[in-house]
Structure 1
Amino acid sequence: MGNHSRRDVLLASAVLSAAAVRPAIAAAATNPPPTLPPALRTRFDSYCVDQKLPGAMLAVVRRGRLEGCYGYGKASVPFDVPVAPTTLFHIASMSKHVTALAVLRLVERNKLSIDDPIGKHVTGLIAWMNPLPIRLMLGHISGIADYEAGFTWDRPFDHDALMKSVPDPIGRPRETLVYSNSAYAILGWLIEAVSGKSYVDYVQDELFKPAGLPLARADAADMPVVGRAEPYHWVDGILHHATRMDNAVSHMSDGGLLFSALDWAPWLDAVDQGKIVSPDLLASMYEPGLLLSGRVTNYGFGWFLEKVRGRDVRSHTGSVPGFRSRILRYPAAELTAIFQTNGDPAFPMGTFLEEVIEHYRPGTTFLSLPGQPEPSSQRAKHLAAYLAGQDDEATLAPELVLAEKAAKRPPGPRIAHQPIEISLLDTYPLPNGSASRYRIDTGERPVTMLIGWSAADQIYFVR
């Protein structure tokens, strides 16, 4: 860096960043994107007030175009900056499908095979990790646990620290689904090792630029990123700035990207139209992982997978200090809803997004499905036992026993209040089992739960 100080470099980077985004911000000011219908805006305002969110953005993409977006509150509270269509929110683990696409793009260019062992390309791993296929890491079924010891958001977390933080493997590969940020962090190292670029540069050059995204980028927590919302959380009834992440942690490949409302339509359209990877490779993202039991998971590559009314649904959430995000896609209806906030809502954003989809296409989601009693008395018994906190083998299949052990679930009920009524909304077949969605009324806000059933009526996944 010669004689330039770190401060000089950061200021220069900030100037370049501002110059790059200025045209997009100016274009949005002179030609504002469509807003959302009044009924949705009112409902969104009500939700945000109820959840005490500092700021939030709701965007709807329909047939590859931005149907509308609407911002609530402040991107910066002390500087009184309102949320705008150009406001960048940290999307956290919603970034995982981007990392998965980056890997698939390298596959398409014959730089690697999705079934290569990770140790073929990445050095310095724990010995037991080396033979793990890349495919299993993308689907969270490699047995690599989430990083634990030694990780804090505001401290450096490098290669050696991650390796030290990962405990022993969770069972055998493909034995169960254990959501693993560690695996996706290692996939970032894979992208760097094979491409010769940093993860940040590879995503920008090979994915975002071809897609024509106006503002999306990797985060850089210690740099003044133009348009980025400030993160907040509530402590004892007082709004505080959330912990600022370490710079390198903020753009890790397990969830380190910033998106504005204006980025989602061009991004999703580019992905769906095969501009990032071919349709065949893209289809592999939406195939659930196959377990040793012959059952399948409810996760592909960077997406949670389910069906409603027999049609595919894809979703994901994201969470880092001071930011929450959720995306919900109904491909058959050609509708996607995205919720981003610089706060910490207590009530799940997923149900609200189902309401958004239902607004545009009534009869699409599970919200309008009539509830009925579970026809299987054994399943009804096992579901009640599960909610009450029981862990017996009749109730839980081995996959879920192993997953809950890995998650170190504390003893006791799995929901906060005793259910008053449990209604079956929908069910669909899976290999060696099935999945059912239930509405659970506790006298508070009702919640929904997707349950994976084995052929012996044991619960093997919960979403």
Structure 2
Amino acid sequence: MNQFFKAFLMLMACYCPIVSAQESAVATIDKLMSSQFKANEPGANVLVARGGKIIYHKAFGMANMELNVPSDTGMVYYIASNTKQFTTVAILQLLEKGLLSLDDTLGKYVKSTPPVSQITIRQLLSHTSGLNGDGYRDSLNIPKGNTRQADAERYAAKNMAFPAGSKWLYNNGNFQTLGYIIEKVTGKTYQDYINENIFKPVGMNSSVVVTGDATLIKNRPSGYSIGRRGILNINLHDTQDLYASGGILSTATDLFKWNRALKSGILVPKKTLELAFTPQRLTSGQTVPYGFGWYIDNLHGSAVYRHGGAVPGFISETFYLPQHDIYVVILINSESAVIPQVLARIAAAELTDKPYKFQRGELVHENLGKYAGLYESEKGEKVNITEENGKVYWQRLGGRRYEVMPSVADEFYFEKDFLWLEFQRDKKKKIDRLVFSRAGYTPNTWKKLEKPALRLSETGQEL
């Protein structure tokens, strides 16, 4: 008994720091999300899971501003382009059943002529098809009553944007066309196929494929925009035309079920699903950071499978680290300045051993006056760096002025936007450039010009 008790104490000694670290990370995540979504503005649903368990799920803000209805965790949001994951899995299911091949050409399913007819399903899935037309924007002009076949033929009738396989270009028309292929192969509507072969087996009971604006969807929040004119209502156009590229609505909990179903292999074998998580290769040999329906990213060296989505009034992000089994879902019912990919990245990193740090430091006194000046990007954009009363400010020409907070030596950050500035020095230790970066985005370098800082108004106009 004594030996058992000792073993138990040793086990708890190992376990408690893990629990404590997770609780601390969750508290940090909650502080982060609470700072981004105000109680009296359009809101969001945020879910974070680790190891197959939900460790954080919270609703923020308002679902309906006019009726004063707060958000709750059961709200059903447009997930927009995250729909592409579902279309991808549907295609892979048909591949497993031998009903199609990834190397099947478009001409097999859609009336078309070369070179469009030679586009493959693989190229449609990976946005390397060269198919012309955005799909989402084009859907604004689709005649009422048009069939899916007519829509697919309309895309196929256009000239190629580039030779198939030679470039990568995100294009909703690729997945609109895949939706029609699913219908032609199965004899079912896209909606019925997804319901029967994905939603029902997974238990995604709150998820729907939208069939039009008139459809009543229980627990759907209203969509808004937040901008210079304040908070405004957003009216969607006929949402049935979002279709296989962006027509699904779901909850954070249902998307968690989706993540677990993919991991378990109940929808499609893991080996087949790996095709979707493999960066695709162009005819030049170059690989692109996209598989089938997912972006292939990384977080501090760990693989990430993610996608974002946006339709009028709604934005979304799903973000998965397979190595750590961390999954983040962010669903927002507004077109706000919040970038969900950045929030998801920071939240996920908090649960790894390499969290992002926003630590307030002291401005080194001897550096005062050395940062100020006019900087220019590779695109010719200019930014003014000024110093006043021991503080450093960033201001684009024509834009507002922002104070940047000192962190460590020569590094600053924007307190609310998760942006970093790093002033870099030449061989003589003189500051000659700054690097502007955001979590998950390619940094931009700005060269310091041989000119003093400009005198600008509050709106960035030269005085």
Is TM-score (shorter-chain normalized) higher than 0.5?
yes
Distance 1:302 1:53, change over 3 A: farther
Q: Secondary structure at the match of 2:56?
A: strand
1:86 aligns with 2:80: no
Look up the match of 2:54.
66
Higher relative contact order (CA 8 A, sep 6+): 1
Look up the match of 2:95.
107
Alpha-carbon distance between aligned partners in 2 of 1:241 and 1:322, rounded to the nearest angstrom: 8
* Ranges in structure 2 where 5+ consecutive residues have no aligned partner: 1-22, 360-375, 382-395, 405-418, 424-433, 444-463
The answer to whether the 8 A contact 1:219-1:257 is kept is yes
- 1:46-445 pair list within 5 angstroms: 46-49=35-38, 53-120=41-108, 122-125=109-112, 127-147=114-134, 150-152=138-140, 156=144, 159=148, 160=150, 163-164=153-154, 167-220=158-211, 221-234=213-226, 236-250=228-242, 252-363=243-354, 386-388=378-380
Alpha-carbon distance between aligned partners in 2 of 1:139 and 1:131, rounded to the nearest angstrom: 15
CA deviations on 1:212-258 (whole Å, 9 max, x unpaired) are 223112124311111111111146524222122314224x0011111
Alpha-carbon distance between aligned partners in 2 of 1:237 and 1:185, rounded to the nearest angstrom: 34
Pairwise CA distance, 1:66: 2.2
Q: Secondary structure at the match of 1:87?
A: coil
TM score, norm. by length of structure 2: 0.69
* Ranges in structure 1 where 5+ consecutive residues have no aligned partner: 1-33, 369-383, 390-412, 421-437, 453-463
Q: Secondary structure at the match of 2:115?
A: helix
Distance 1:326 1:387, change over 3 A: farther
Q: Secondary structure at the match of 2:87?
A: helix
Alpha-carbon distance between aligned partners in 2 of 1:135 and 1:210, rounded to the nearest angstrom: 26
The answer to whether the 8 A contact 2:95-2:102 is kept is yes
Distance 1:155 1:366, change over 3 A: farther
The answer to whether the 8 A contact 2:46-2:59 is kept is yes
Q: Percent identity?
A: 23
CA RMSD of aligned residues (A): 3.5
CA deviations on 1:382-407 (whole Å, 9 max, x unpaired) are xx875548xxxxxxxxxxxxxxxxxx
Alpha-carbon distance between aligned partners in 2 of 1:417 and 1:165, rounded to the nearest angstrom: 42
The answer to whether the 8 A contact 1:119-1:125 is kept is yes
Alpha-carbon distance between aligned partners in 2 of 1:365 and 1:284, rounded to the nearest angstrom: 31
Alpha-carbon distance between aligned partners in 2 of 1:340 and 1:80, rounded to the nearest angstrom: 19
Alpha-carbon distance between aligned partners in 2 of 1:330 and 1:386, rounded to the nearest angstrom: 33
Alpha-carbon distance between aligned partners in 1 of 2:155 and 2:421, rounded to the nearest angstrom: 37
Distance 1:48 1:105, change over 3 A: same
TM score, norm. by length of structure 1: 0.69
The answer to whether the 8 A contact 1:65-1:266 is kept is no
CA deviations on 1:87-107 (whole Å, 9 max, x unpaired) are 000000011111000000000
Q: Secondary structure at the match of 2:86?
A: helix
Pairwise CA distance, 1:189: 0.2
Alpha-carbon distance between aligned partners in 2 of 1:88 and 1:155, rounded to the nearest angstrom: 28
User: Between Structure 1 and Structure 2, whose CA radius of gyration is higher?
Assistant: 2
4+ long deviations beyond 6 Å: 365-368, 442-445
The answer to whether the 8 A contact 1:53-1:345 is kept is no
- Number of equivalences: 360
Alpha-carbon distance between aligned partners in 1 of 2:320 and 2:292, rounded to the nearest angstrom: 15
Distance 1:440 1:299, change over 3 A: farther
